[in-house]
Amino acid sequence: MLKFNFFNIPTKDEWIFSLKTFIGAMVAFYLAQRIGLPRPFWALLSAYVTVQTFAGATKSKALYRIIGSAIGGMGIVLLLPLFFNYALLAALALGLWYGFWIFVALHDRSPRTYAFLLGGYTIGIVAMPSMSDASQITLPIFFDMAVNRVQEIGVGVTCGALAHELIFPSQAGNVVIMRLDQALKDTAQIIRNIIDYKREFTDQRPNLNKLSGTITELRLLTTHVPFEADNHRWVHNILGSMQDRLAALVPVLSAIDDRVRYLSKTPEGVPQELRDILDTISAWIAKGDETNYTEAVRIRRQIDEAIPVITAASNWNEMLSANFTNELYYLVDISEDCFGLRRQMNAGILGKEPDAESRKSKVSTISLMVDKRKAWASAFAAFSCVTLTTLMWIVSGWNAMWAAPMMGGMYCLFFSAVDTPVPLLKWQFWMTAASAVPAGLYLLWLFPSAHSFEMAMMLFFPMAIYFGTYLQSPFKSLTSIPFFFTTMATLTMFDQGSANMTAFINVQISQCIGILFAIIFMGICRSISIHSFIRGIVKGIWQDISDLATATTIPSPVTMAVKMVDGISLIAPRLAIAQKDHEAIRSGTLQSAVNILLDLRVSTNLTRLLRAQSHMDFTGDSPFKSLVDKLAHYYGVAKEVPDTEFKSFLPEIDKALNAAATLPANNQQNIAVCALTGLRCDLFPTASPYIPLTATTNPANTVDTKC
């Protein structure tokens, strides 16, 4: 159960934030009354619902709320008139509506998902209170209801967004740039540590999981930057491109770390030629965005001179050298891109439109990792909860029961993305029950005595100002929203003309019933352990690797890296918790998650191989087809293949390596050889070295080596 102290003293920033929100809400309340909208409390409530820490985030949420309200309005107009007179069909239709939008929302992990959530539960919070008395419902009422609610919500979110934009605005752009610079600084240090061939090597690997989490956090925060009022909005695409490059660095750094470890442990150590390259890269990385283009060109030429030409007679050491230098080439390319993008950001922040802004591409947040099992389970929970409570409402004939499907469906939507929603839902239940006291005081005693807007504002001021300070912090808002917002939402009973003790008590009981059903169905459908969640994400990553073999368009390594790194960012914090379960570790339950960086390297090398293959001309089938198909099957069945089948991949890789080595020496041949070498090291790190098929050496007589 969550615990939170409501008597903590708010900070100065929290008081200012609350005051801005209060001003926006009161202006919205006043305008809604002056315009003559039927339910002005909706405008007041909407102004509070959309507030965020940053002004740009408030504007983006306001936009998504209007879009979501419009979607919900269309549902009211199109859905309810068709099924209003058919109880069972109406219940099923409402349940399907909630389930559909929760499923859609969980497939987009950006702030845009708020629009889908609103589209789902708007039909409940808008239509269900008016449907409590069926004798008063006519078909035109549904249209008027939808239009009026969208107008009231539009007034509320607009006033709320303007208040945060005009009064001491807090900008997300500055925070994004600050965190990005820290991420770049941390990444530069990681790079220098990895390529330091003089370091003491231990079993402890570089913490690339932390970098993955930082990248995903920045990516989601950056979605608010286009809504900023300052010059940061001009560099939105550049910010996205920068995060893509950082994501692409993760598999490259993981591979380089493996190669440096291997070379450092050989009797000869890291060759002097490669030492010089690593020292040069380390000094170059330390300069950051103060470097210039000529330095990167000089490093590339130095790497070019070290890259061996691969032929059919090339041995394993030459292929490893080609792979290592190829990864260093990627490292330099990506790092140079990051430095250049950072300089372009500086130009954009100063008010100059970057020359390359229109050409900068970025991977969409739609491409992020999605847990489809969670989406289906949450959708079914919402469908079941809304359908059953709606049927209970219709069959019982209890008018106030409308609040049960409304609250049950809404809370299923709100907490659908949470791993374990039941503890949070229980907190919502108790806070909703506790809110009956202040809600009753305001509804039945204080507001009936307010005969002017000024008096109503004075009555609302103490509670709104204090609890508004809790909305700036995500944790505080999560714990205080059910108490504060339920109190405010109850005041809409004034708009309905039902502000009496009987109606109030019935609605309060009905709300609690709805939350109880949400707890029950979310508990049944979403009662999965952290281990199950981790396995679900890992299997999703494996399936994406398997799908590469049949993809009509091979994604770029950057696109694959972005999605996989996002998956790692989801796994890492949960893995830290799950690893406390020593029994799970001993049973190997979490081993696949611990080694997920290896799968990331496999996906990168497989993508490079397939893209190189697409630029080659073969008289028959590609010599890599058999290997690609076997790897696709291996990951498609979640690696559940016999050991003999897995071991058969090694001769397939060697066969493909020999075929690639015999191709004419060019850039695509080099990429294919390096990708196959990487696959061999990733999947068989302790295997005997590759032997060219032209050689007469017996592979059985070779000593074991480690990539």
Q: Give the count of beta carbons closer than 10 Å to the beta carbon of residue 141.
A: 16
Helices (H), 266-315: 272-287, 293-306
Tell me the one-letter amino acid at 575: L
- Give the pLDDT score at 328: 92
Instruction: Please tell me the distance from the alpha carbon of residue 157 to that of residue 160, in angstroms, as a whole number.
Output: 5
As a whole number, mean pLDDT of residues 504-516 equals: 91
Q: Give the CA distances from residue 580 to residues 573, 574, 699, in Å, rounded to whole numbers and listed in that order.
A: 12, 10, 43
Tokens of 117: 């959530």
Taking the model in full, what pTM does it have? 0.81
Spacing of C-alpha 535 from chain mean position? 18
C-beta pairs of 630-633 under 8 Å, 24+ apart in sequence: 631/545, 631/546, 631/549, 631/602, 631/606, 631/679, 632/545, 632/546, 632/547, 632/548, 632/549, 632/550, 633/546
Q: Which of 450, 409, 399 shows the shortest CA–CA distance to 41?
A: 450
Check pLDDT > 70 for residue 71. yes
Q: DSSP readout, 609-646?
A: HHHHHTT---SSS-TTHHHHHHHHHHHHTTT---HHHH
- Give the pLDDT score at 631: 92
Contact 431, 486 (CB under 8 A): yes
Of 192-201, 244-253, 298-307, least confident by mean pLDDT is 192-201
Please indicate whether residue 573 or residue 17 has the higher confidence score (pLDDT): 17
Q: Which residue has the tokens 């001309």?
A: 617
Please indicate whether residue 582 or residue 141 has the higher confidence score (pLDDT): 141
Sort 655 into a burial class: Cβ within 10 Å, 0-12 / 13-18 / 19+. middle
Q: What is the pLDDT of residues 356-380, one digit of tens each?
A: 444 455 666 666 777 888 889 999 9
Instruction: Please tell me the distance from the alpha carbon of residue 468 to that of residue 481, in angstroms, as a whole number.
Output: 10
Tokens of 323: 């792979």
Tokens of 700: 């059985």
Tokens of 609: 């191989």
Q: What is the pLDDT of residues 537-586, one digit of tens each?
A: 888 888 888 998 888 888 888 888 888 888 888 887 777 777 666 545 55
Q: Residue 178 — very low, low, confident or very high, per pLDDT cuts 50/70/90?
A: confident
As a whole number, mean pLDDT of residues 13-40 equals: 90
Contact 101, 122 (CB under 8 A): no
Q: What is the pLDDT of residues 530-539, one digit of tens each?
A: 777 788 888 8
Of 172-186, 252-266, 476-490, 645-659, least confident by mean pLDDT is 476-490
As a whole number, mean pLDDT of residues 143-163 equals: 87
As a whole number, mean pLDDT of residues 314-343 equals: 88
Q: What is the pLDDT of residues 442-461, one digit of tens each?
A: 888 888 887 888 888 888 88
Q: Residue 702 — very low, low, confident or very high, per pLDDT cuts 50/70/90?
A: very low
As a whole number, mean pLDDT of residues 499-506 equals: 85
Please indicate whether residue 599 or residue 131 has the higher confidence score (pLDDT): 599
Q: DSSP readout, 238-268?
A: HHHHHHHHHHHHHHHHHHHHHHHHHHHHSTT
Please indicate whether residue 463 or residue 355 has the higher confidence score (pLDDT): 463
- Give the pLDDT score at 700: 37
Percent of the chain whose predicted confidence (pLDDT) is above 70: 86
SS3 state at 200: coil
Instruction: Please tell me the distance from the alpha carbon of residue 534 to that of residue 572, in angstroms, as a whole number.
Output: 9
Q: Residue 59 — very low, low, confident or very high, per pLDDT cuts 50/70/90?
A: confident
**Structural domains present in the chain:** 12-170+371-525 (no CATH), 172-367 (1.20.58), 533-701 (no CATH)
